[in-house]
Every structure is written in structure tokens, then in C-alpha cells.
Amino acid sequence: MHQLFRLVLGQKDLSRAGDLFSLDDSEIEDSLTEALEQIKIISSSSKRRTGRDRLNCPFQLPAQKIAEK
């Protein structure tokens, strides 16, 4: 898997996620199947955190505020 996918998906370094868009398609084509499998694992995990905890933010997102009303 491409090193940047490993950082973003494996280490959950979301600060680097935007960098994926700067890569040429040819650099990541061979990694897409493995990356999608990793995304499936993460998204189906019962330990997956949501909302403020997932983002590690001290504030609530607008969607959270609406949902809580």
C-alpha cells in the first residue's frame, strides 16, 4: 500500500488525507484495492468513534448540535 495511505488509514493521520489528492493516479492505482479493504475494516469496526471524539475536537460540529436537539 502507498505510504500515504498507510499514514492516513493505518495510523489515522487525517492531517495528511488531503495530500492524497496531489498524487498522480499511477502512484496509487496499485494500492486502491488494499486501501478500500482497510476502509471497510475501519468503517465496520465496533470501536470506531464518531463525532467530536473521532475528530478530537473541543467543539461540536453543526450536525451534532442539530441531532442533539
pLDDT averaged per 10 residues in sequence order, the chain, 69 residues: 91 90 94 93 73 52 53
- Pick from 47, 37, 30, 46: which is nearest to 10 by CA? 37
Q: 8 exposed, middle or buried (CB, 10 Å; 0-12, 13-18, 19+)?
A: buried
Separation between Cα atoms, residue 69 and residue 64, nearest integer Å: 9
Predicted local distance difference test score (pLDDT) of residue 42: 86
Name the strand (E) or helix (H) holding 65: helix 62-68
